[in-house]
Each structure stands twice: as structure tokens, then as C-alpha cells.
A and B are shown apart, each in its own frame.
Chain A
């Protein structure tokens, strides 16, 4: 081919581009003062829907009332597209100055040196005094504060009151054991069998990785080691999955075929299953998708009915290492994380505000009320930080879901699932 030479030159140029990536985390002098009339332009990106975008714009308008000369260029994506976009930006060292982070990705980005250590601003431009230590720790990677939680939530079990009332089944209680749960699921199944379509107790609740983390936490066992390797064995996974083998094999869970058919809703959100296991913030989603405000929430059952809970940062704010406006970025993070007016706008939709002051500012919607009441009720049981999740966690969580679906279809058994999961983790964490 006569075109080889220029093509090779171009490829070389492209590869130079590749090689230029990496690095980050340059030291800087953290300012302690930021004059309100300082001029700066920073970019800020979040994920979410149209409603959140409206609220974010209101919040940023408030910010500009206080700091009129800081121009905030705003971007947002839907969750699924958010990571594609951020990853490609990260590759080019072109992350926005301030960005919304998820606990599942924080470790990954921080490990790659993509974030600024906000610890230097603590006590100065950034006020974290009102935050629980357990919560702040979940934003800390390698001893650097790389993510400031905008809100928090906790693992929970939600139930559809309308559905249970209709079936005449009493609501689940906070002190249920796993055995109670199994009996409860069967009770709902029995009462709901005559409905069209039939109502079930729950979908197989071993289908998500956070559920496994919760279960490990009850046993006082870690999930990942300090250096980001799994702290569990294949057998642990098998045991966890087999704990509901009775229900699963007897077809007592909401059928997977129907879950897939109703995707992205599934049994609970589609109004055909009574129980749902998820972080407490998602109650807002449940209310909107099911079209009811009658959703209750208690702790997810454990082996003995007592709980060890962790505050899970529902959303964090990070500052990119490549920012050229670190001070302005820190001021924006502080404003969004702490301003009571901002909390009043968002309610608990970004997670419950971590500070007393922030919580007090929220005029509670139905879902906020349920969420806050739950978090208040479990306050004494929150004794742990949510485990720090290693690089590649997002993929592992997705893989768990995919493998679990294969398990439900009977394509693989629990041992094969564990094997596949470990070979995947070898690749992703190795």
C-alpha cells in the first residue's frame, strides 16, 4: 500500500497522544480565603434526569448570587452515559473541574491520580465539621479526601404498602431474621397467587453486590483488602447464594422472565412484588415508578435480626487534578455540599444531607420523609464506614448482576457463578 508511510506517521502522532496521558495530583497551595468577587470559570458535571438538572441550575444560580464572577459551565448526562463520557475525558486528562462521583468509581479514579486532595481545604474553604467520621472516611482514598459526600443513604428493605394491604399481609418489621424473611416471602406469594398478574414476595435478593457487602458486614468481615483485592473466597459467594437456594429452586421468587420483560422496572417497581432491597434514597424512584406514596422501609433482615449498618455516600463531589482553578472548585464543592438553601432544593434526592443543619433545611416530600425517618431510626446502628471499593468495582458489580441472571435462568450453578466471578475479578483487579 502506498499509503503506509503517512499513516504510520499519524499513528505515531496518535500514540504520542496516548503516552502523554497519566500523571496528575500536582501539589498546589490551598487558599484559605476566597473573595466573593473573584473571577473564575469552572466546569461542573453531574448525572441525572431533567428534574435534577432544573434543581442544579437553581442551586448554581444561588451560588452565583454569592460569587457573581465565578462562571460555572454545566454539563450533565444520564447515568449510563455519564461514565462513558467521564472515562474518555479521564483518558485525555480533561475531566471537568468539579464532578459528581459515585462510591463505586471513586477508588478507581483516585488510584489513577485523577483527583485533587481536598483535605488541604478542610477547615478553610471547605467545611466538613458536621460530617460523621464514618461518612467522610468513605470519601477518603490513600489518606486523601478525594470526594465530599453530598448526601448519604443506607441499605434498606422497602415494601409496597398498597400491595400488602390489598393482600391482607402485615407489614414486615425491623427485627426480622433471614428465616422470617423466607417465611414472609412465602406468605405474600400465597396471598398474591390469585391476583392477575400474580403478586410475589420479592425477586431473588442475592442478585446485587451491595446485598453481599451488607451480608459480609453483618459477619464483621471485610469485602476488599487494603490493596483492592477481594477479601472473600469462592465458598463465601456460594454460601451466600445458597442461603436462598430453597426459595430459588422452588420458584418462589418473582420470575426472572418477568423481571426481564419489565426491565428497567422489574417486580417491585412494576408493582408486582412486595419487597425491594436497595439504598434508602431510591424510595423516591420507587414512589414515582409505582405511582404511590405508600412505601415503607425497614432494615434488611439479617441472620439474627440485629444490624450492622454503614452510611453509604450516595453521591460525592470531587475536583479533578487537572483543574486550573482549584480554589474556585473547592468553594463550589463547599457550597453544594453545605449550603442549606441547596439542601432545600434537592431534598433527599441526592441522599440525606449529612449535617444536622442541612437536614433541618429540607422541606420533606413524601419520599424524603420515609428516607429520613429510616435514617433516624437506624442512626445508632450505623457503626461502619461503607467499604472503600477498588478500581474496577463498577464492572464487578455489573458482572455479579449478569452472572446472577444466568443463575436464575439455570444456565450456571452457584459454584460456576463464583468461579466466573473470581476469574473476572482476577482480570479486573489484577
Chain B
């Protein structure tokens, strides 16, 4: 087992030392700092150009978007946004937002609950068959999901769950997203074992150790998982496409597609505007939590 001790005390000491180093370095490298920013901004421009183009094109008239090379719109203004906010076919724009939010929130809650339980079992409890299941868990992380969609659909159909959020959420509550289980296992393994050993001596059982010791310490891993889970659910297109039939149940990515239809007229402007609007919540969510994003990734890597 990996035992990178990362107790608060050690961390402070390390940070203090690197702060000293930084101070020395800063004196030496004011020039380096300018270079850093110049470089970082150059990378930024390259990376963000498409994003800016996307934003700008949402202000262009619908039939000037495709094949257009100019960055700046030549008129059109906020019309696309007005169209997007009108909703589609009597369904309010906010219904789509709400649906996406429900699914994203549901999948965050489901993943945090079920994956933390599973991760604790894998990382801290000794039981028969654990190693076999661990291998299975890693295997499902690597499994192409295409192999299970058709039978899954048939099962959900038999259960009468088509056009409900169940098929999209059930898996989240049953920890099928192994990536998160794995992320949490890694994090728990990085926590000092002395803590739960002490609790065992005090007579605590696994439930108590989990809820009162491990879970609170896992907060960074939970935050990281929540961020990824939210973003993935928000952007998921294929799952809702398969399982949601009623536009009133649609999520944002699905609703977006309704503006462009190859058999009738298409409104690329409104689609672009809605795409921008669809990004707002995910951007807000990301910026609110991005500080904690790195903290929850323990880095011992893949190790059984």
C-alpha cells in the first residue's frame, strides 16, 4: 500500500519551505515572471480563440454563421438570445435548465453517496472477494459503454422507466461510474490509517469510522468528484437522447438540437445563443469550485 504521509503538519512545513524558495526565486526571476505571463497569455489566446468565436457568432444572424470566417458580428444583435429564451414549442427555456439541473444535481448526489461507500469498502474493509471485485471495478472503468447500452435499454424498458430520469440516475446511485470510485479509493488510501485504527480500539464499527472519520476527511475528493459529475451530466447527450422522449423532459443539449433540423428550416443563431446560455451554469459551477478541483485528486496512480 502507498503511504505518502500528507499530514497537515508536514504539509505546512513543506509549504513554508517552498514559500522560502519562492521568495528567493522571485528576486532572481522578475524577468522570468514577465516571460511566464507572456507565454501563459499566448497560450490563452490560442486556446480561447474558438471560445470567443463561438460567443461572437451567437450575435450573428442565423444564416451568416456557417462558413463565416470573421470574428466580429455584422449586425443581428441580441435577436438570437431572444429566440432562445422564448423556449421551444411551448416549453419554456427554463424547463430545460431545470431538467438539466435536476439531472446534474441527482447525479452529483448519487455519485457522492454510492461511490464513497464503495470506495470505503475497497480501501478500508477486508472481506472475502474484495480483490476480485476490485479487478471488476477497474475493468468497468475501462469498459467501452457501447457493449451495454442495448441490453440496458431493454431492461429499463421492461421496468417501464423509459421517459423518466431513472435510467439516467439509477447507475449514478449504484456507483457504476468507476472513475469516481477509483478517485475516492486513491484518496482514502492516502489518509493515515492511524486514525481509523484508533477508532477501532475505541470500539467503533465500520459505519461510524466511515461517517465520522473518513467521510469528513474526504471532502476534497468529494468536491472534485462533484465538479466532474456535474459537468459530465450537464454535457451528456447520448443518455438523454436514448431515454428521454418528451420535450418537456429534455435537457439543454437535447433541446439545442431542436433548432437545427435537416428536413425543415434551421436556426443556427438561436442554437448558438442557447449553447452559450447552456454553458453559463456549468461555468458558474466550475468557477465556484475550481479552487478545490486539484485538491481531491490523490495521485498514487493505479495500484491494486
Contact = CB atoms under 8 A, between A and B. Distances in A.
- Please determine if A and B sit in direct contact within the complex, based on CB atoms under 8 angstroms apart: yes
A291 B63 contact: yes
Contact of B260 (A18, A73, A78): A78
A88 B258 contact: no
Interface residues of B, number: 37
A1 interface: yes
5 contacts: A49-B261, A49-B265, A57-B90, A92-B162, A285-B266
Contacts of A89: 162, 245
A52 B264 contact: yes
A73 B246 contact: yes
A1 B155 contact: no
Contacts, number: 128
A289 interface: yes
Nearest to A50: B88
A94 interface: yes
B105 to A, nearest CB: 24
Interface in B101-144: 129, 132-133, 136
Interface string B149-191: 0010111011000100000000000000000000000000000
Contact of A50 (B67, B154, B270): B270
Given A17-B157, A53-B258, A85-B245, A1 B67 contact: no
Contact of B261 (A57, A79, A290): A79
Contact of A13 (B89, B155, B260, B261): B155
Interface residues of A, number: 50
A262 B242 contact: no
A383 B258 CA distance: 36
Contacts of B67: 261-262, 265, 270
Given A51-B264, A53-B247, A289 B258 contact: no
B265 A289 contact: yes
Contacts of A94: 157, 162
A284 interface: yes
B263 interface: yes
A88 B262 CA distance: 21
Contacts of A289: 63, 265-266
Chain A interface mostly helix, strand, loop or mixed?
Answer: helix
Contacts of B262: 79-80, 264
A78 B242 contact: no
B259 interface: yes
B236 interface: no
A272 B233 CA distance: 40
A282 B266 CA distance: 12
A346 B191 CA distance: 65
Given A17-B158, A290-B63, A47 B261 contact: yes
A265 B263 contact: no
A92 B157 contact: yes
Contact of B265 (A1, A20, A79, A284): A284
B170 to A, nearest CB: 14
B264 A17 contact: no
A48 B262 CA distance: 8
